A and B are shown apart, each in its own frame.
Chain A
């Protein structure tokens, strides 16, 4: 069977092979660009300045400049400069990033006011958690009500429809003015970014519940309260769970904005700070860390979902 069959799953061994490739391919490209000298490497790192007056050890110069200076030195018969091909600072090699993964946790902050990486991470997780938690405990019930009763749909949705077009980051200054400079305004940004979408998404999910289940419930004598508690909520639970997983991803994207207002803190601040010091290995390590954390949380939630909803075929 061809591996390109439309709408047919691959054999399970090939599936995991291909899934592995999806990570392997970008990493291999990265390794090749970093370790194979004739691939890219637009700069030369000076190992011996020779007779060139402005060259210094470890200095990065354009390949062109190096060639010109070398040919000048040959003509003049003076000592030749020595160098090795190098990539720009902003593309550290994989092993450097891997080292940074460890050293980022062990390296002491450069200034006393700055935080350790694990403190930054923890601060970010708290902001995400509280912002998303507050949004969910209000947004999910409102969404369910709006999706079940037309009354609440008319009551909430027009305003929310309007409000969700207002960009959450625009509320940054306002949030600081109202809530101070510490974690509260950051949590508020995550909340604003998530809440309005959440109500609408949950309302839509609720509306998609098979109406014949509600009719069956009514002919079995269920009251309005029972219809919501015993049919709507359990009926939408798997979809609600999936929505929440997707929305949690959105909350992470608002983190970047949230952490730039008020006092600087969190993983985004760490990244900005490290970029300022040109520690791009740390920058990459931190970005990958955010990605890994998101992926791990998502995989965990997916696994949990399969346990929580045994009546569903597959997730």
Chain B
């Protein structure tokens, strides 16, 4: 792989350094201590996660990235309480958590909107569970549909919405419960590139304006660097923390930073962590010999 001449990702300018200093002063929202997860299989135990330690500060945006099979989805499902850890502890504002609850909002890749409820009723779901009256919940849900720009669609069913719209509703539905932390499991993974870019900008806007801490799982490097304060890089077999990276790109972010040196440097570094360069990358090209080349074009290079 060609090495481009990029600065060290660890170099932070004054402004960024200052921001991280202040960020570390904030109280801790969620703390993960020595978390491990083992799955029993026919061939013995498989360790999905091994000794994960992580502290997320209030209003911090943390992305988790790693190669496939590194257990990032398992991690967020344990944090949400949908699966139990084999060992370790999760603290939210100092309180241990074990089962799912509305104080940890979750947004799934597959939207998971209730198909039999309209946009408004989907948002009302958690509000009513929390004991709010129907009228109060309805007016609150109206404000949310307004906030996500879907007022005109408040009585539409999920199947009538596009992927981006559905995910906006899912985010509003989770946020309506006033969670302390928002857990997002590859929320934009199923969206096309343009919609994804819009949704990223949109999420940044929400995060800037409301009091919310975000833990965001992704497999998209650009997305991770663009959104995160810090990036937790996992490695596979077993899933362990490889590195926690402080992103040196100044906040607030905007799309023009995609080509800034510190952005590219961070991206290059993570790329090397996740896909370490190997010698045998081109081994399987021999397979191409199975296809007859009858073209007039001798070589494409």
Residues of A within 8 A of B (CB): 210, 212-213, 215-223, 226, 230-231, 234-235, 237, 309-313
Tell which of B82, B99, B174 touches A220, judged by Cβ atoms closer than 8 Å: B174
Q: Which residues of B contact A309 (CB under 8 A)?
A: 116
CB pair A235 B101 closer than 8 Å? no
Instruction: Compute how far the CA of A92 lies from the CA of B236 in the bound complex, rounded to whole angstroms.
Output: 77
CB pair B81 A220 closer than 8 Å? no
CB pair B129 A311 closer than 8 Å? no
Q: Which residues of B contact A222 (CB under 8 A)?
A: 125, 129
CB pair A311 B102 closer than 8 Å? no
Number of CB contacts from chain A to chain B under 8 A: 70
Q: Which residues of B contact A212 (CB under 8 A)?
A: 108, 110, 112
CB pair A218 B116 closer than 8 Å? no
CB pair B112 A213 closer than 8 Å? yes
Interface string of B100-128 (1 = CB under 8 A from A): 11101110101010111100000001100
CB pair A220 B125 closer than 8 Å? yes
CB pair B82 A215 closer than 8 Å? yes
Q: With A215-B100, A311-B116 in contact, is A220–B173 under 8 Å at CB?
A: yes
B residues 158-172 near A (Cβ < 8 Å) are 158-159
Interface residues of B, count at CB 8 A:
28
Interface of B, secondary structure class, is: loop
Question: With an 8 A cutoff between CB atoms, is B157 at the interface?
Answer: yes
Residue in A215, A226, A235, A310 with the greatest tally of chain B CB atoms within 10 Å: A215
Q: Which residues of A contact B82 (CB under 8 A)?
A: 215, 218-219
CB pair A311 B108 closer than 8 Å? no
CB pair B112 A216 closer than 8 Å? yes
Ranked 9 nearest A-B pairs via Cβ: A221-B102, A220-B126, A218-B100, A219-B106, A216-B112, A311-B157, A221-B129, A234-B116, A212-B112
Q: Which residues of A contact B115 (CB under 8 A)?
A: 235, 311-312
Instruction: Compute how far the CA of A212 lies from the CA of B114 in the bound complex, rounded to whole angstroms.
Output: 10
Specify the chain B residue showing the minimal Cβ separation from A313. Answer: B159
CB pair B116 A219 closer than 8 Å? no
Q: With A213-B112, A231-B114 in contact, is A218–B157 under 8 Å at CB?
A: no
Interface string of B64-106 (1 = CB under 8 A from A): 0000000000000000111000000000000000011110111
Q: Which residues of A contact B129 (CB under 8 A)?
A: 220-223, 226
CB pair B173 A310 closer than 8 Å? no
Q: Which residues of B contact A231 (CB under 8 A)?
A: 114
Instruction: Compute how far the CA of A260 lies from the CA of B112 in the bound complex, rounded to whole angstroms.
Output: 51
Residue in A223, A234, A237, A311 with the greatest tally of chain B CB atoms within 10 Å: A311
Q: Which residues of B contact A313 (CB under 8 A)?
A: 159
Q: With A221-B126, A235-B116 in contact, is A216–B157 under 8 Å at CB?
A: no
26 contacts between A and B (CB under 8 A): A212-B112, A213-B112, A215-B82, A215-B100, A215-B108, A215-B112, A216-B108, A217-B125, A218-B81, A219-B81, A219-B82, A219-B102, A219-B183, A220-B129, A221-B100, A221-B102, A221-B129, A221-B130, A221-B177, A222-B125, A235-B115, A310-B157, A311-B117, A311-B157, A311-B159, A312-B115
Instruction: Compute how far the CA of A159 lies from the CA of B106 in the bound complex, rounded to whole angstroms.
Output: 39
Q: With A234-B116, A311-B115 in contact, is A216–B101 under 8 Å at CB?
A: no
Specify the chain A residue showing the minimal Cβ separation from B126. Answer: A220
Residue in A221, A223, A230, A235 with the greatest tally of chain B CB atoms within 10 Å: A221
Q: Which residues of B contact A213 (CB under 8 A)?
A: 112, 114
CB pair A219 B157 closer than 8 Å? no
Specify the chain A residue showing the minimal Cβ separation from B80. Answer: A219
Residue in B99, B115, B116, B126 with the greatest tally of chain A CB atoms within 10 Å: B116
Residue in A220, A222, A231, A313 with the greatest tally of chain B CB atoms within 10 Å: A220
Rounded to whole Å, the gap between the CB of B174 and the closest CB of chain A is 7
Tell which of B105, B117, B158 touches A219, judged by Cβ atoms closer than 8 Å: B105
Interface string of B144-182 (1 = CB under 8 A from A): 000000000000011100000000000001100100000
CB pair B114 A219 closer than 8 Å? no
CB pair B106 A216 closer than 8 Å? yes
Q: Which residues of A contact B130 (CB under 8 A)?
A: 221
Residue in B105, B112, B130, B177 with the greatest tally of chain A CB atoms within 10 Å: B112
CB pair B116 A237 closer than 8 Å? yes
Specify the chain B residue showing the minimal Cβ separation from A223. Answer: B129
Rounded to whole Å, the gap between the CB of A80 and the closest CB of chain B is 77
Interface string of B205-240 (1 = CB under 8 A from A): 000000000000000000000000000000000000
Instruction: Compute how far the CA of A217 lies from the CA of B105 in the bound complex, rounded to whole angstroms.
Output: 11
Q: With A234-B116, A237-B116 in contact, is A219–B125 under 8 Å at CB?
A: no
Specify the chain B residue showing the minimal Cβ separation from A213. Answer: B112
Specify the chain B residue showing the minimal Cβ separation from A212. Answer: B112
Rounded to whole Å, the gap between the CB of A206 and the closest CB of chain B is 15
Q: With A215-B112, A216-B112, A309-B116 in contact, is A221–B101 under 8 Å at CB?
A: yes
Specify the chain B residue showing the minimal Cβ separation from A220. Answer: B126
Instruction: Compute how far the CA of A313 lies from the CA of B116 in the bound complex, rounded to whole angstroms.
Output: 11
Instruction: Compute how far the CA of A77 lies from the CA of B100 in the bound complex, rounded to whole angstroms.
Output: 103
Known A221-B100, A309-B116, A311-B159; 16 more pairs at CB < 8 Å: A210-B112, A215-B82, A215-B100, A216-B106, A216-B108, A216-B112, A218-B82, A219-B100, A219-B101, A219-B102, A220-B129, A222-B129, A235-B115, A235-B116, A310-B157, A311-B117
Instruction: Compute how far the CA of A210 lies from the CA of B110 in the bound complex, rounded to whole angstroms.
Output: 11
B residues 177-198 near A (Cβ < 8 Å) are 177, 183
Q: Which residues of B contact A221 (CB under 8 A)?
A: 100-102, 126, 129-130, 177
Instruction: Compute how far the CA of A311 lies from the CA of B117 in the bound complex, rounded to whole angstroms.
Output: 8
Specify the chain A residue showing the minimal Cβ separation from B160. Answer: A311
Instruction: Compute how far the CA of A313 lies from the CA of B115 in the bound complex, rounded to whole angstroms.
Output: 11
